[in-house]
Structure 1
Amino acid sequence: MSRSKEGADEGSKTGGPETGSDFLQLDIGQAPPGNRTEWLAGRLRAAIADGTLPVGSRLPASRVLAAELRVSRGLVTEAYQRLAETGQVAGRGRAGTVVVAAPPPPAAGPAAAVPRGGLVDALRAEPCRIDLSPGVPDLTAFPRTAWLQAERRVLAALTPADFGYGNPQGAPALREAVAGWLARNRGIRVDPAEVVVVAGVAQALGLLAQVLPAAGVRRVAVEDPGSLGARQQLEHGGLDVVGVPVDGAGLDVAALRASGARAVLMTPAHQFPTGVVLDGERRRDLLAWAAAGGLVLEDDYDAEHRYDRAPVPALRALAPEGVCYAGSVSKLLAPALRLGWLLVPRRLREPVVEAKRYADLGNPVLAQLVLARLMDSGELERHLRFVRRRHRRRRDAMLRAVAGHLPGARVHGAAAGLHLTVTFDGAAFDDTVVAGAALALGVKTHPLSWHRLRPGPPGLILGYAAGPAGEIEEGVAVLGRALREHLQDHRH
């Protein structure tokens, strides 16, 4: 990109009403006199920050935008250059100027401060050749035949009355099946009457955000680093969040006590994104905190997907009245099903069911009954064993690829789950820029900084479940290339 002088930019004023562009509905007439370049750069920054221009978006050619705004081309190239200097856009030759990084989300605050639509949602919508996003299961493995057979059997047994409105708390058959599934696979003994069927963990958190203030909980601690999407669910519900550090033993319970929060959202079985398991001493300390009046929101993330370690008991199994427990089949079958479950202490059950009733009158009944049949027949356990073997092979392929293409990378959380995290000791780089550059080359992943509340070492979160070994190898190679180029640019 060529640099130009502000005076030359401002010398290209043109009269007349047609000084606008369809791109971002820009109207150069709104720019303050003498500062058009900064006005244009500011409009572009704002569009990147609020998700209007997500990572991977291509800006108009400078000559095209200049012609539409009736300004000099130098003004536009200067505005683009200012964004390039802050790492938000980059020139890609014939591909043009591309958005490669968005500003990190705010650490806390009202939902209005969160970028529109959410960074994660914006990234999901971006096309790519290879998807290494975390949290994406192998969707090609969905058991279509078993689902279709179960659906036929369910339909054959339904009466006309069964097609009416269902129970907002969930179909009794699925609540009973979930109770059995949790007893067999997570060590949780629960009466089916305690199960609330929800549209995934996201809705579970949304319902809790509605009912917790009435129970005196308005501030919730979250793991740092921890899931950006989960945090946004709580913030959107009007709760204040505060970060609590995570280390090699899991959540720092002493820091939780010091935070003053009366509830904490956790992924203790396989912490997102570090993969650490909450150790025994921390578990005991956490349960003592809950027994003294605290409330644990347990997101049983990736609990079923483990390869090199023994299963970890759910916290809910140890303290039913101190833990709200949420799980789903999004990572086991498919996110599109929007089926999960929520267990809450007795004092919260009626408010949660009421909130669910007013949210949607309950999940679609047919899908609930089909899932119940898969659980009761043992088909879901068979599917879990199948995908666990496949995911382990893909995990191993990613470990080989990381060793070959990301020298010096430290791998975290490889013993379980559908992703691993890599960090680089002593390396100073902007992980959002690297992830953006990789997306411009067709590979999608998450920068670790997206999921932090406080500053911390950069890293990348790499999902390995969604694609075959060849794609994993190619995707990690692209990441290695993007990282090397960024480090070279940073040194220069």
Structure 2
Amino acid sequence: MAVPQTNFAWATLLDVGPPERGGRRLHDRLAHALRTAIREGRLVEGAAVPPSRALAEEFGCSRWVVTEAYGQLIAEGYLAARVGSATRVSWSPDTVPPPPPRTPRAPEPAPIRYDLAPGLPDLRAFPRRRWADAVRAVTGSAVHYDLGLPDPAGHAVLRTTVAQYLRRSRGADADAASVSVCAGVTDGLVRTCRALVARGIADLAVEHPGWGRLRDAATSTGLRVHPVPVDQDGLRVDDLARTPARAVVVGAAHQFPTGTVLSPDRRARLVRWAREVDGFVIEDDYDAEFRYDHHPVAVMQGMDPSRVFLLGSVSKTLSPALGLGWLVAPAVTTTALRAANPVAAAPPVLDQLALATFIDRGWYDAHLRAARRRFRSRRDLLVRTLAERVPEGRVSGTAAGLHILLHLPDDVDTRAAVKAASTAGLRLSDLDDYRVERSAERALVLGYGNISDIEIPAAVALLREALRSAVGTSRQPPAVADPY
């Protein structure tokens, strides 16, 4: 029985286009034309397509061209072939599932105009030209075996350079064999914690308040973490001694976020504690290069290199985008350190060599000198502006590093202040963000690394408005005027 011609797609215009020199072959062009007609609804679902012989005669081509095109569309699901029946269209635009309903999007937060959060250096002042010169120099001078698989401990050139730099600038007792190159302080801490676990140490103490990422990094290795409070003299060693910890992470030169410096007496007691418990001190030297009232305090590691790990990086001096840091380990732990981190990857070799060149040519020291002058001036400006615009606030923290602590009256909801400031385009940090649990103390951690001097007055004006909106009226004495 003949199938009526109207069931076929004879009337459908199939634009296969002219032959293309070096382009798609005819069967590909035919498949594309049929696919387009189906997608546009000109060939509806259930419609039969012409027999291959008939369509071949229409186009004046071999039957193979048509069967190849049909076979491609059958494989893609646009056509379906059944024995004893015509090949038919098996897809239509209506079979495409409708897109899920759009849920109302939360309003976009205001773009950050001013950054008073801690954690970043002055990214505007990154020494682009000299860093590019260092990269260019090592790219041209690197020998062929430098381009192979990197040493997991880091390139020998950078390890030697870092050891020399730490000896002369930080008073460390380091050599190339004790240095491992890592991606930063957090990476170095994870490697150290794995080595401690391998030595049978199960408990680690951390400063409280402190940087949460360090706590998380230690926990990820299986260590039990014990917060130990910090006061005006730094870590309270007597409280540390009451924990089961045999290792502790401490920011001796400039504790984060309180800004205190570990006192000489507690430094000595901390080293004695490590000896007594057969444990270790992990010294986080994260921004110790920036001390403004006198020369930076030397690292604790020099007091007892057999008991103190030293962690450092260029994240606070150059940029965290470089992903370059170092770990100085006691000699007795070197083997365990390597074995506990068999798949730890060192940063790219060319970046390591670029940092070594940057330091060896004196560019790093020059950059630090300029940064110290800039940050000292900026810190002074921020403190003066806060005294004028937020007179009820009290600034604390050693004249060092890249942040200060702003203590506020008890009726200020610092969490609400941070939220209000963010809405206005100002980034802040609540001291409670660095605690295990909320405290009665009201304070903000203000960073001045990633803000320019000319932006500080406007930023403090926004801070003042945020504080004004965050005063808890239910706790505020009615007879006292709003200090903000």
TM-score category (smaller protein)? 0.7 to 0.9
**Residue in structure 1 matched with residue 370 of structure 2 by the alignment:** 386
- Residue deviations 1:439-487, cap 9 Å, x none? 1110111100011124431210011121212222211221121111110
In the superposition, the TM-score normalised over structure 1's length comes to 0.73
CA distance in 2, matches of 1:481, 1:390: 27
| Equivalence for 1:192 | 176
User: Offset of 1:406 from its aligned partner?
Assistant: 1.8
Give the number of the structure whose alpha-carbon radius of gyration is greater: 2
Pairing partner for 1:142 from 96, 116, 126: 126
Q: Please state whether the residue corresponding to 1:155 is helix, strand or coil.
A: helix
For residues 298-328 of structure 1, the C-alpha deviation after alignment (integer angstroms, 9 at most, x for no partner) is 1002100111133212110101111111000
Counterpart residue type for residue 431 of structure 2: L
Cα shift readout 1:74-110 (whole Å, capped 9, x = no counterpart) = xxxxxxxxxxxxxxxxxxxxx8xx8xxxxxxxxxxxx
Encode CA deviations 1:124-154: one digit per residue, 9 max, x unaligned: xx94111111021001111111112222221
**Alignment match, 1:358:** 343
Query: What secondary structure, in the 3-state scheme, does the structure 2 residue paired with 1:487 have?
Result: coil
Contact kept in structure 2, 1:419 and 1:464, CA below 8 Å: yes
Read off the aligned partner of 1:217 and give its amino acid letter.
I
Taking the aligned partners of 1:479 and 1:374, their CA distance within structure 2 comes to 38
Tell me if 1:485 matches 2:472.
no
* Corresponding residue SS for 2:242: helix
Question: What secondary structure sits across from 1:298 in the alignment?
Answer: strand
Are the aligned partners of 1:429 and 1:490 in contact in 2 as well (CA < 8 Å)?
no
Q: Distance in 1 between matches of 2:340 and 2:470?
A: 48
Tell me how far 1:429 sits from its aligned partner: 3.2
CA-CA distance at 1:23 after TM superposition: 4.6
In the alignment, the residues of structure 1 paired with residue 256 and residue 279 of structure 2 have an alpha-carbon distance, to the nearest angstrom, of 22
SS of 1:326's partner is strand
Partner of 1:348: 333
Match of 2:283 among 273, 277, 298: 298
CA–CA separation in structure 2 for the residues paired with 1:393 and 1:134: 17
Q: Partner amino acid for 1:165?
A: L
What does 1:21-420 align with in structure 2 at a 5 Å threshold? 23=103, 59=106, 127-292=111-276, 293-360=278-345, 362-420=346-404
Structure 1 residue matching 2:394: 3-state secondary structure:
strand
SS in 2 for 1:460: strand
Letter of the 2:180 partner, please give it. V
Compared with structure 1, are the counterparts of its residues 473 and 167 closer, same or farther at alpha carbon in structure 2 (3 Å cutoff)?
Answer: same
SS across alignment from 2:270: helix
- Please state how far the C-alpha of 1:215 moved relative to its aligned partner: 1.4
- Report the Cα distance in structure 1 between the residues aligned to 2:396 and 2:446, rounded to whole angstroms: 10
Q: Which amino acid aligns with 1:474?
A: A
1:430 aligns with 2:394: no
More divergent stretch after superposition (479-488 vs 180-189)? 479-488
Give yes or no for the alignment of 1:446 onto 2:429.
yes
Asked if structure 2 preserves the Cα contact closer than 8 Å seen for 1:271 and 1:301, the reply is no
Deviating 4+ runs (over 6 angstroms): none
Deviation at 1:430, TM superposition (A): 2.9
Q: How many angstroms does 1:414 deviate by?
A: 4.5
**In the alignment, what sits opposite 1:64?**
none
Please give the alpha-carbon distance, in whole angstroms, between the structure 2 residues aligned to 1:468 and 1:477.
Answer: 15
Q: Do 1:401 and 1:477's aligned partners in 2 also have CA atoms closer than 8 Å?
A: no
Aligned partners of 2:211 and 2:451: how far apart in 1? 22
Cα displacement (A) at 1:346: 2.2
**Stretch moving more, 455-464 or 427-436:** 427-436
- Unmatched 5+ residue regions in structure 1? 1-17, 25-57, 61-94, 99-125
- SS for the counterpart of 1:205 is helix
- Would the aligned equivalents of 2:420 and 2:469 in 1 still touch at CA under 8 Å? no
Which amino acid counterpart does residue 240 of structure 1 have in structure 2? R
User: What is the distance in 2 between the residues matched to 1:355 and 1:487?
Assistant: 51
Q: Partner of 1:476 in structure 2? A: 460
Q: Once the 2 structures are TM-superposed, how far is the Cα of residue 351 of structure 1 from its aligned partner?
A: 2.7
Which sits farther off after the overlay, 469-478 or 240-249? 469-478
Q: Which amino acid aligns with 1:449?
A: D
How far apart, CA to CA, are the structure 2 residues paired with 1:161 and 1:396?
Answer: 49
Work out the CA distance in 1 between the residues paired with 2:102 and 2:305: 56
1:431 and 1:366, CA in 2 relative to 1: closer, same or farther beyond 3 A?
same
Please report the RMSD computed on the Cα atoms of aligned residues, expressed in angstroms.
2.1
CA contact (8 A) 2:199 2:336 kept: no
Provide Cα deviations, 1:241-288, integer angstroms capped at 9, x if missing partner. 111111111110000001221111110100101111011111111111
**2:405–2:446 Cα contact (<8 Å) kept:** yes
- The size of the alignment, in residue pairs, is 376
SS at match of 1:212: helix
Partner letter of residue 485 of structure 1? S
Q: What SS does the corresponding residue of 2:304 show, helix, strand or coil?
A: coil
> 2: CA distance between counterparts of 1:472 and 1:183?
36
In the TM superposition, what is the alpha-carbon distance from 1:353 to its structure 2 partner? Answer: 2.3
Residues 200 and 341 in structure 1, CA contact (< 8 A), matched pair in contact too: yes
How many angstroms does 1:419 deviate by?
0.6
TM-score, normalised by the number of residues in structure 2 = 0.74
